[in-house]
Amino acid sequence: MSFWILTAAGAAIVTLAMALAVLRGARRGLRGEEAEASADDGTDQQIYRDQLAEIARDLERGVIGAEEAERARIEVSRRLLEAARRGPARLGAAPRGANLALAVVGVAALGGVFALYSRMGAPDFPDQPMAARLDLAEMLYTNRPDQAAAEAEAAAMRPAAPEPDAEFAALMERLRAAVAERPNDPEGLALLARNEASLGDYHAAWQAMRRLVAIKGDQATAEDYAQMAELMVVAAGGVVTPEAEAELRHALERDPANQSARYFMGLLMVQNGRPDRAFPVWARLLDEGPEEAPWIRSIRTGIRDLAWLAGETDYTPPPVRQTGPSRADLDRVASLPPEARGQALGPALQALGAKLANTGGTAEDWARLLAGMLILGEEDRARAMWDEAQGVFAERPEDLARIRAEALRGGLEAPRDGEAVPPPFGARALPGPDAAAVEAAGEMSEADRQAMIAGMVEGLEARLMRDGGSPAEWARLMRALGVLGDGDRARAALARAAETLDPAALAELRAAGAAAGFELGDGASAGGASGGTVSGGGAQ
């Protein structure tokens, strides 16, 4: 309570003095007179000089890179010059109306400050100017626990790891024995590190990685060092110790763009009171992605608070990016020849599969991955995934229904009574005439029908003959040619489709041609006489 009494009294005195001064100036009509303004006491300039010195120290210690240090120096120097430019000045007396407004605004602003401080302030907390904060950050950085101390503290707080099953435990004993017999085997050490980590023995895991890095020598990669540092951080309960920091620096020396190392260097800055240094590191990682990277979720969780602490009050994180192919991508790839689909879809599917394996995903993610496998003809993988999905989503029927739709579309499941089967990918929103348009054309006069169908079919036919397409597109073209009664073009289309379609799809296309009124034999050039038309599909 004493804080508020003293503050209110002091604020009232200051406000009264300000009001009397400006009102007295208004009465005297000091237009055109000048008064000396108090000179800048240099406080801001000293703060910026301290920051420049801190940047130099951080660069010398290797906390930041040369490029980041240069950017920081430029920004702080700009602020220093601006503060110097605002130095001693002479101010003219303001008009009477401005002085009166100043008095009123001063009192109103004071009330606003009290209201804001009552919500956000901490009356009993001592002031922390910039220099003190930098000193505190330096103290935190210097007095971090070393790896052994941090691991001991983490081990005391960590719950006991569950016992592995007997078979896995026996395999681990054999692996440890094999590595002990062949201590310089890189593959054995890498395998040991991964499996020790899976058991929760992160100390043993990073020790194995350290031996692996030592064996590799100059051939050790940035990723090797980054993996070792990550295991050290986990073993230390999340603390980036000096030893882990040293390995992160080895990683960044070999690859300054290594994302894992950069993430943990940002974490080091967060832990040691430097949100201003951590924010640009993490913000750039968030911009780079990919969304399934293991550190992205952690960064997204805290980036707004970190931005605020760093003074970036207008920061907006980038939107969450969808991993893997969109449904539009699936439609597009399904219309490609089978031999071109893997190259167009494979990398996106691989990224989506990695996301599901590492961080999980939604039912829509599962559905798109299942659909992509079926488009690529990977039926065995798709069936295994569908079996897994039925267990994972057993208690979420709506999500399971979304995945089941792709199983129905791909023929992994038979439809139940009255259950609709979604159309195949590549058959939706395709250019060219659809089934309804072709049917409507059959009810027109001969001249109108021929003109409409000819106009719609030309673009589809030209594209398919040039680039190929999906079975659904070829079948659509065949139906349209049936309305036109053009058997020569139908046989040419069948011959071109035979170059890319598999036997099953080709058989379906012949059936579509027969339904359109063409006699198309087993060979691509087979057909009826005189254009291959028969009753029902030819010109009337």
Residue 131 resides in a domain:
no
Structure tokens given for 358: 């590492």
Q: Find out whether 251 and 262 touch, Cβ atoms under 8 Å.
A: no
Residue 390 resides in a domain:
yes
> Same domain for 203 and 297?
yes
**Per-residue pLDDT, 425:** 76
> Same domain for 481 and 381?
no
Q: What is the mean pLDDT of residues 102-123?
A: 47
Residue 272 resides in a domain:
yes
Q: How many helices (H) and strands (E) does the chain have?
A: 24, 2
CA distances from 120 to 12, 115, 196, 281, 448 (A): 21, 9, 47, 28, 76
Residue 152 resides in a domain:
no
DSSP string, 57-111: HHHHHTSS-HHHHHHHHHHHHHHHHHHHHT-S-EEEPPPHHHHHHHHHHHHHHHH
Q: pLDDT tens-digit profile of 7-51?
A: 444 455 445 455 555 444 444 444 444 444 444 445 555 666 667
Give first-to-last CA distance, the chain, whole Å. Answer: 100
> Same domain for 439 and 399?
no
Residue 129 resides in a domain:
no
> Same domain for 248 and 298?
yes
Provide, for the chain, the percentages of residues in helix, strand and coil under a 3-state DSSP scheme, each rounded to the nearest 5: 70, 0, 30
Q: Number of folded domains in the chain?
A: 5
How many whole angstroms separate alpha carbon 385 and alpha carbon 403?
10
> Same domain for 284 and 362?
no
Among 255, 282, 309, the domain boundary falls at 309
Q: pLDDT tens-digit profile of 354-397?
A: 878 877 778 888 999 999 999 988 989 999 999 999 999 999 99
**Per-residue pLDDT, 436:** 57
Q: How many CB atoms are closer than 10 A to CB 155?
A: 13
> Same domain for 219 and 271?
yes
CA distances from 236 to 157, 227, 295 (A): 11, 14, 18
How many whole angstroms separate alpha carbon 281 and alpha carbon 270?
11
Q: Is 429 left (phi over 0), alpha (psi -120 to 50) or beta?
A: left
Dihedral of the alpha carbons of 353, 355, 358, 359, in degrees to the nearest 10: -140
Domain region containing 253? 184-309
Among 409, 444, 466, the domain boundary falls at 409
Q: pLDDT tens-digit profile of 393-411?
A: 999 998 999 999 999 888 8
Residue 240 confidence (pLDDT) above 50 = yes
**Nearest Cα to Cα of residue 330 among 285, 284, 370:** 370
Report the CATH number at residue 283: 1.25.40.10
Place of tokens 């003190």: 132
**Per-residue pLDDT, 526:** 36
Q: What percent of the chain has pLDDT over 70?
A: 67
> Same domain for 20 and 48?
no
Residue 425 resides in a domain:
no
> Same domain for 188 and 302?
yes
> Same domain for 397 and 453?
no
How many whole angstroms separate alpha carbon 354 and alpha carbon 81?
50
> Same domain for 30 and 46?
no
> Same domain for 203 and 286?
yes
> Same domain for 400 and 498?
no
Residue 332 resides in a domain:
yes
Residue 429 resides in a domain:
no
Q: Which of 269-273, 330-334, 503-507, 526-530 has the lowest mean pLDDT?
A: 526-530
